[in-house]
Amino acid sequence: MNLEDQKGTEHRRRAVYSRAVRALRQAGVPNPELDASVIMGFVTEEPPEKVLLDRDRPLAPQQALHYRDLIVRRCGREPVSQIVGYREFYSLTIGVAPGVLTPRPETETLVEEAIRCLEGMAGAPAVLDIGTGSGNIAIALATAVPRCRVVAVDISRAAVRTADANARRHGVRDRVLLFRGDRTEGLGAGGCFDMIVSNPPYIGENEFDRLSPEVRKGDPREALVAGIEGYGLFEPIAEQSFRLLRPAGILLLEVGMGQAPRVAEILARAGFSGLRVVDDLAGTGRVVAGSRNDA
Ligand SMILES: C[S@@+](CC[C@H](N)C(=O)[O-])C[C@H]1O[C@@H](n2cnc3c(N)ncnc32)[C@H](O)[C@@H]1O
Protein backbone atom coordinates (compact mmCIF):
# COMPACT_ATOMS: atom_id res chain seq x y z
CA MET A 1 0.00 0.00 0.00
CA ASN A 2 1.59 3.28 -1.04
CA LEU A 3 -0.04 6.13 0.79
CA GLU A 4 3.27 7.80 1.59
CA ASP A 5 3.25 10.47 -1.12
CA GLN A 6 0.40 12.15 0.75
CA LYS A 7 3.07 13.41 3.13
CA GLY A 8 4.26 15.89 0.53
CA THR A 9 2.95 19.42 0.19
CA GLU A 10 0.60 18.49 -2.68
CA HIS A 11 -2.65 17.05 -1.35
CA ARG A 12 -5.04 17.42 -4.24
CA ARG A 13 -8.17 15.49 -3.45
CA ARG A 14 -8.30 13.58 -6.69
CA ALA A 15 -4.85 12.12 -6.10
CA VAL A 16 -5.34 11.46 -2.40
CA TYR A 17 -8.72 9.82 -3.01
CA SER A 18 -7.44 7.66 -5.88
CA ARG A 19 -4.55 6.36 -3.78
CA ALA A 20 -6.96 5.55 -0.96
CA VAL A 21 -9.31 3.66 -3.30
CA ARG A 22 -6.38 1.62 -4.68
CA ALA A 23 -5.17 0.74 -1.18
CA LEU A 24 -8.67 -0.23 -0.02
CA ARG A 25 -9.21 -2.38 -3.10
CA GLN A 26 -5.90 -4.18 -2.54
CA ALA A 27 -6.98 -4.87 1.05
CA GLY A 28 -10.18 -6.53 -0.23
CA VAL A 29 -12.55 -3.86 1.11
CA PRO A 30 -15.94 -4.39 -0.62
CA ASN A 31 -16.91 -0.79 -1.57
CA PRO A 32 -13.63 1.12 -1.81
CA GLU A 33 -15.00 4.23 -3.58
CA LEU A 34 -17.85 4.72 -1.14
CA ASP A 35 -15.67 4.18 1.91
CA ALA A 36 -12.94 6.52 0.60
CA SER A 37 -15.57 9.29 0.15
CA VAL A 38 -17.28 8.74 3.52
CA ILE A 39 -13.96 8.81 5.35
CA MET A 40 -12.85 11.93 3.44
CA GLY A 41 -16.16 13.59 4.37
CA PHE A 42 -15.52 12.74 8.01
CA VAL A 43 -12.03 14.27 7.87
CA THR A 44 -13.09 17.44 6.03
CA GLU A 45 -16.47 17.74 7.81
CA GLU A 46 -18.29 17.81 4.47
CA PRO A 47 -21.08 15.60 3.12
CA PRO A 48 -19.41 12.59 1.42
CA GLU A 49 -21.15 13.33 -1.88
CA LYS A 50 -19.51 16.79 -1.98
CA VAL A 51 -15.91 15.92 -1.16
CA LEU A 52 -14.92 15.42 -4.78
CA LEU A 53 -16.98 18.18 -6.40
CA ASP A 54 -13.79 20.17 -6.91
CA ARG A 55 -11.23 17.45 -7.27
CA ASP A 56 -8.23 19.81 -7.45
CA ARG A 57 -9.05 21.50 -4.16
CA PRO A 58 -6.27 20.46 -1.76
CA LEU A 59 -6.68 18.85 1.63
CA ALA A 60 -4.85 20.66 4.42
CA PRO A 61 -1.67 18.74 5.36
CA GLN A 62 -3.17 17.74 8.74
CA GLN A 63 -6.31 16.50 7.02
CA ALA A 64 -4.24 14.47 4.56
CA LEU A 65 -2.35 12.80 7.41
CA HIS A 66 -5.55 12.12 9.33
CA TYR A 67 -7.15 10.69 6.18
CA ARG A 68 -4.18 8.43 5.56
CA ASP A 69 -4.33 7.06 9.13
CA LEU A 70 -8.06 6.34 8.84
CA ILE A 71 -7.64 4.65 5.45
CA VAL A 72 -4.93 2.43 6.97
CA ARG A 73 -7.44 1.42 9.70
CA ARG A 74 -10.07 0.67 7.07
CA CYS A 75 -7.51 -1.43 5.14
CA GLY A 76 -7.23 -3.46 8.38
CA ARG A 77 -11.00 -4.12 7.89
CA GLU A 78 -12.19 -1.96 10.78
CA PRO A 79 -15.80 -0.98 9.87
CA VAL A 80 -16.39 2.54 8.60
CA SER A 81 -18.98 3.13 11.33
CA GLN A 82 -16.40 2.49 14.06
CA ILE A 83 -13.83 4.70 12.28
CA VAL A 84 -16.14 7.70 11.88
CA GLY A 85 -18.17 6.94 15.04
CA TYR A 86 -21.67 6.94 13.55
CA ARG A 87 -24.07 5.24 11.15
CA GLU A 88 -27.17 6.62 9.46
CA PHE A 89 -30.27 4.71 10.53
CA TYR A 90 -33.83 5.60 9.58
CA SER A 91 -32.56 9.10 8.57
CA LEU A 92 -31.03 9.61 12.03
CA THR A 93 -27.33 9.89 12.77
CA ILE A 94 -26.71 7.21 15.40
CA GLY A 95 -23.40 7.29 17.30
CA VAL A 96 -21.61 3.96 17.70
CA ALA A 97 -18.76 2.98 20.00
CA PRO A 98 -16.50 -0.02 20.60
CA GLY A 99 -18.55 -2.84 22.08
CA VAL A 100 -21.84 -1.62 20.58
CA LEU A 101 -23.52 -3.13 17.52
CA THR A 102 -23.66 -0.89 14.46
CA PRO A 103 -27.32 -0.49 13.37
CA ARG A 104 -28.18 -2.37 10.17
CA PRO A 105 -30.49 -1.25 7.35
CA GLU A 106 -32.66 -4.41 7.68
CA THR A 107 -33.67 -3.27 11.18
CA GLU A 108 -35.53 -0.38 9.53
CA THR A 109 -38.16 -3.01 8.58
CA LEU A 110 -38.85 -3.55 12.30
CA VAL A 111 -39.02 0.21 12.89
CA GLU A 112 -41.42 0.78 9.98
CA GLU A 113 -43.74 -1.99 11.15
CA ALA A 114 -43.62 -0.75 14.75
CA ILE A 115 -44.49 2.81 13.66
CA ARG A 116 -47.37 1.50 11.58
CA CYS A 117 -48.76 -0.37 14.60
CA LEU A 118 -48.18 2.55 16.99
CA GLU A 119 -50.06 4.91 14.70
CA GLY A 120 -53.11 2.65 15.09
CA MET A 121 -52.96 2.87 18.89
CA ALA A 122 -54.72 5.58 20.87
CA GLY A 123 -53.22 7.66 23.68
CA ALA A 124 -49.57 7.41 24.71
CA PRO A 125 -48.44 3.85 23.93
CA ALA A 126 -45.81 2.31 26.21
CA VAL A 127 -43.08 0.46 24.29
CA LEU A 128 -40.33 -1.84 25.56
CA ASP A 129 -37.15 -2.32 23.47
CA ILE A 130 -35.19 -5.41 24.61
CA GLY A 131 -31.49 -5.30 23.64
CA THR A 132 -31.48 -1.65 22.63
CA GLY A 133 -27.77 -1.50 21.63
CA SER A 134 -27.08 2.02 20.30
CA GLY A 135 -30.73 2.90 21.02
CA ASN A 136 -31.46 3.10 17.30
CA ILE A 137 -34.90 1.44 17.43
CA ALA A 138 -36.04 3.20 20.62
CA ILE A 139 -34.93 6.60 19.32
CA ALA A 140 -36.45 6.11 15.87
CA LEU A 141 -39.80 5.23 17.49
CA ALA A 142 -39.70 8.08 20.00
CA THR A 143 -38.83 10.51 17.19
CA ALA A 144 -41.47 9.28 14.72
CA VAL A 145 -44.28 8.87 17.27
CA PRO A 146 -43.77 11.62 19.85
CA ARG A 147 -46.72 10.50 21.98
CA CYS A 148 -45.10 7.14 22.78
CA ARG A 149 -42.83 6.39 25.74
CA VAL A 150 -40.05 3.83 25.39
CA VAL A 151 -38.33 1.73 28.02
CA ALA A 152 -35.04 0.45 26.57
CA VAL A 153 -32.91 -2.23 28.20
CA ASP A 154 -29.56 -3.80 27.38
CA ILE A 155 -27.23 -6.14 29.23
CA SER A 156 -24.17 -4.20 28.03
CA ARG A 157 -22.93 -1.11 29.88
CA ALA A 158 -21.33 0.29 26.70
CA ALA A 159 -24.65 -0.07 24.88
CA VAL A 160 -26.65 1.77 27.56
CA ARG A 161 -24.04 4.58 27.65
CA THR A 162 -24.16 4.93 23.86
CA ALA A 163 -27.97 4.81 23.74
CA ASP A 164 -28.07 7.53 26.41
CA ALA A 165 -25.82 9.81 24.32
CA ASN A 166 -27.87 9.11 21.18
CA ALA A 167 -31.19 9.81 22.91
CA ARG A 168 -29.82 13.15 24.14
CA ARG A 169 -28.46 14.02 20.70
CA HIS A 170 -31.92 13.50 19.20
CA GLY A 171 -33.78 15.30 21.99
CA VAL A 172 -35.84 12.29 23.13
CA ARG A 173 -34.06 11.40 26.37
CA ASP A 174 -37.13 12.46 28.39
CA ARG A 175 -39.22 9.81 26.59
CA VAL A 176 -36.66 7.00 26.46
CA LEU A 177 -36.06 5.39 29.84
CA LEU A 178 -32.82 3.43 29.71
CA PHE A 179 -31.49 0.80 32.00
CA ARG A 180 -29.00 -2.02 32.11
CA GLY A 181 -30.48 -5.43 32.70
CA ASP A 182 -30.85 -9.00 31.54
CA ARG A 183 -33.85 -9.11 29.18
CA THR A 184 -36.95 -8.08 31.15
CA GLU A 185 -35.51 -8.69 34.63
CA GLY A 186 -36.66 -6.03 37.09
CA LEU A 187 -39.64 -4.90 35.00
CA GLY A 188 -42.29 -5.86 37.53
CA ALA A 189 -45.40 -7.96 37.40
CA GLY A 190 -46.61 -7.36 33.85
CA GLY A 191 -49.46 -6.11 31.75
CA CYS A 192 -47.94 -2.68 31.32
CA PHE A 193 -46.67 -2.43 27.72
CA ASP A 194 -48.64 -1.84 24.52
CA MET A 195 -45.75 -3.00 22.35
CA ILE A 196 -42.51 -4.89 22.79
CA VAL A 197 -39.82 -4.76 20.11
CA SER A 198 -36.53 -6.59 19.97
CA ASN A 199 -33.69 -7.21 17.58
CA PRO A 200 -32.02 -9.87 19.72
CA PRO A 201 -28.79 -11.72 18.96
CA TYR A 202 -29.80 -14.44 16.45
CA ILE A 203 -26.60 -15.76 14.87
CA GLY A 204 -25.60 -19.36 15.58
CA GLU A 205 -22.28 -20.02 17.32
CA ASN A 206 -20.89 -21.86 14.30
CA GLU A 207 -21.89 -19.08 11.91
CA PHE A 208 -19.87 -16.39 13.70
CA ASP A 209 -16.51 -17.44 12.25
CA ARG A 210 -17.95 -17.21 8.74
CA LEU A 211 -19.03 -13.55 9.11
CA SER A 212 -17.07 -10.80 7.33
CA PRO A 213 -13.90 -9.42 8.98
CA GLU A 214 -15.75 -6.11 9.52
CA VAL A 215 -18.48 -7.78 11.58
CA ARG A 216 -16.06 -9.92 13.59
CA LYS A 217 -13.84 -6.90 14.31
CA GLY A 218 -16.46 -4.23 14.73
CA ASP A 219 -19.44 -5.85 16.48
CA PRO A 220 -19.42 -7.52 19.89
CA ARG A 221 -19.96 -11.29 19.72
CA GLU A 222 -22.50 -11.11 22.59
CA ALA A 223 -24.66 -8.78 20.49
CA LEU A 224 -24.82 -11.30 17.65
CA VAL A 225 -24.61 -14.85 18.92
CA ALA A 226 -27.40 -16.67 20.77
CA GLY A 227 -26.88 -20.40 21.21
CA ILE A 228 -25.73 -23.04 18.77
CA GLU A 229 -28.34 -22.25 16.11
CA GLY A 230 -29.13 -18.63 16.98
CA TYR A 231 -32.57 -19.24 18.57
CA GLY A 232 -31.39 -18.99 22.21
CA LEU A 233 -33.16 -15.75 23.14
CA PHE A 234 -36.43 -16.00 21.19
CA GLU A 235 -38.20 -18.32 23.61
CA PRO A 236 -37.45 -16.43 26.86
CA ILE A 237 -38.24 -13.10 25.16
CA ALA A 238 -41.57 -14.45 23.83
CA GLU A 239 -42.61 -15.89 27.22
CA GLN A 240 -41.60 -12.80 29.20
CA SER A 241 -43.18 -10.46 26.63
CA PHE A 242 -46.50 -12.29 26.84
CA ARG A 243 -46.61 -11.52 30.56
CA LEU A 244 -45.51 -7.91 30.15
CA LEU A 245 -47.91 -6.93 27.35
CA ARG A 246 -51.38 -5.54 27.91
CA PRO A 247 -54.23 -7.48 26.32
CA ALA A 248 -54.07 -6.79 22.54
CA GLY A 249 -50.45 -5.70 22.94
CA ILE A 250 -48.04 -6.49 20.10
CA LEU A 251 -44.66 -8.22 20.02
CA LEU A 252 -42.33 -7.53 17.05
CA LEU A 253 -39.12 -9.54 16.71
CA GLU A 254 -36.40 -9.16 14.12
CA VAL A 255 -35.20 -12.56 12.87
CA GLY A 256 -32.37 -13.87 10.69
CA MET A 257 -32.72 -15.28 7.20
CA GLY A 258 -34.90 -18.42 7.24
CA GLN A 259 -35.73 -18.16 10.97
CA ALA A 260 -39.26 -16.72 10.63
CA PRO A 261 -41.27 -20.02 10.59
CA ARG A 262 -39.58 -21.41 13.69
CA VAL A 263 -39.84 -18.09 15.56
CA ALA A 264 -43.56 -17.89 14.65
CA GLU A 265 -43.98 -21.33 16.27
CA ILE A 266 -42.16 -20.11 19.38
CA LEU A 267 -44.55 -17.13 19.60
CA ALA A 268 -47.57 -19.38 19.13
CA ARG A 269 -46.36 -21.67 21.95
CA ALA A 270 -45.94 -18.62 24.21
CA GLY A 271 -49.63 -17.75 23.61
CA PHE A 272 -49.44 -15.16 20.82
CA SER A 273 -51.98 -15.12 18.00
CA GLY A 274 -52.47 -13.13 14.76
CA LEU A 275 -48.96 -14.14 13.74
CA ARG A 276 -47.48 -12.32 10.74
CA VAL A 277 -44.14 -12.22 8.96
CA VAL A 278 -42.97 -8.92 7.44
CA ASP A 279 -40.41 -9.03 4.61
CA ASP A 280 -37.48 -6.65 4.31
CA LEU A 281 -36.62 -4.86 1.04
CA ALA A 282 -34.70 -7.91 -0.16
CA GLY A 283 -37.81 -10.08 0.28
CA THR A 284 -36.45 -11.91 3.33
CA GLY A 285 -38.89 -12.63 6.17
CA ARG A 286 -37.34 -10.20 8.66
CA VAL A 287 -39.91 -9.46 11.36
CA VAL A 288 -42.27 -11.84 13.15
CA ALA A 289 -45.24 -10.13 14.80
CA GLY A 290 -47.85 -11.52 17.18
CA SER A 291 -50.64 -10.14 19.39
CA ARG A 292 -51.67 -10.93 22.93
CA ASN A 293 -55.31 -11.39 22.01
CA ASP A 294 -56.46 -13.16 25.13
CA ALA A 295 -58.72 -10.41 26.48
C1 LIG B 1 -28.43 -7.62 17.59
S2 LIG B 1 -28.06 -6.43 18.84
C3 LIG B 1 -29.32 -5.20 18.50
C4 LIG B 1 -28.94 -3.82 18.93
C5 LIG B 1 -29.91 -2.74 18.45
N6 LIG B 1 -31.23 -2.92 19.00
C7 LIG B 1 -29.99 -2.72 16.93
O8 LIG B 1 -31.06 -3.03 16.38
O9 LIG B 1 -28.98 -2.39 16.27
C10 LIG B 1 -28.61 -7.24 20.29
C11 LIG B 1 -28.46 -6.43 21.57
O12 LIG B 1 -28.99 -7.21 22.64
C13 LIG B 1 -28.17 -7.09 23.77
N14 LIG B 1 -28.36 -8.28 24.61
C15 LIG B 1 -27.84 -9.52 24.43
N16 LIG B 1 -28.27 -10.34 25.40
C17 LIG B 1 -29.08 -9.60 26.20
C18 LIG B 1 -29.84 -9.89 27.36
N19 LIG B 1 -29.84 -11.12 27.91
N20 LIG B 1 -30.56 -8.91 27.94
C21 LIG B 1 -30.56 -7.65 27.39
N22 LIG B 1 -29.87 -7.32 26.28
C23 LIG B 1 -29.14 -8.29 25.68
C24 LIG B 1 -26.76 -6.92 23.21
O25 LIG B 1 -25.91 -6.29 24.14
C26 LIG B 1 -27.03 -6.10 21.96
O27 LIG B 1 -26.92 -4.72 22.23
47 vs 74: CA distance, rounded Å: 19
CA of 116 to the centre of ligand 1 (A): 23
pLDDT range class, residue 4, cuts 50, 70, 90: low
155 and 192 housed in the same domain: yes
Q: Is residue 61 domain-shared with residue 197, that is, in the same domain?
A: no
DSSP letter, residue 59: P
For residue 138, the ligand 1 atom closest to its alpha carbon is: 6
Q: How large is the average pLDDT for residues 128-149?
A: 98
Q: Is residue 284 part of a domain?
A: yes
Domain final position from 43, 76, 109: 76
Q: Which atom of ligand 1 is nearest to the CA of 104?
A: 9
Number of domains in the chain: 2
What's the whole-number average pLDDT of the chain? Answer: 94
- Give the pLDDT mean for 151-179: 98
Does residue 86 form part of some domain?
Answer: no
Query: Is there a domain that residue 84 lies in?
Result: no
Pocket of ligand 1 (CB under 6 A): 101, 103, 107, 130-134, 136-137, 153-156, 159, 182-183, 199-201, 222-223
Is 58 exposed, middle or buried, given 0-12, 13-18 or 19+ CB atoms closer than 10 A? middle
Whether residue 169 is predicted with pLDDT greater than 70 in this model: the reply is yes
Quick one: 49 and 155 in the same domain?
A: no
Ligand 1: centre distance to CA 129 (Å): 9
- Whole-number Å distance between alpha carbons of 174 and 114: 20
Q: What is the CATH number of the domain that holds 48?
A: 1.10.8
In whole angstroms, how far apart are CA 265 and each of 35, 54, 231, 244? 41, 56, 12, 19
150 and 276 in a common domain: yes
What is the DSSP code string of 106-173? THHHHHHHHHHHHHTS-S--EEEEES-TTSHHHHHHHHH-TT-EEEEEES-HHHHHHHHHHHHHTT-G
User: Could you tell me if residue 81 is inside a domain?
Assistant: no
Range of the domain at 15: 4-76
pLDDT of 244-289, one tens digit each?
A: 999 999 999 999 999 999 999 999 999 999 999 999 999 999 999 9
Return the minimum-mean-pLDDT range out of 58-62, 64-68, 189-193.
Answer: 189-193
Cα-to-centroid distance, 157 and ligand 1 (Å): 11
Residue 181, in any domain of the structure = yes
Last residue of a domain, one of 23, 43, 76: 76
Residue 274 lies in a domain: yes
CATH for 158 = 3.40.50.150
Judge whether residue 3 has pLDDT over 70: no
Stretch among 2-11, 145-154, 221-230 having the lowest mean pLDDT: 2-11
pLDDT for 6 equals 46
- Do 170 and 237 share a structural domain? yes
Query: 264 and 195, same structural domain?
Result: yes
User: Where does the pLDDT of residue 10 fall: very low under 50, low under 70, confident under 90, or very high at 90 and above?
Assistant: low
Is 62 inside a domain boundary? yes
167 belongs to a structural domain: yes
- 59 with 99, same domain: the answer is no
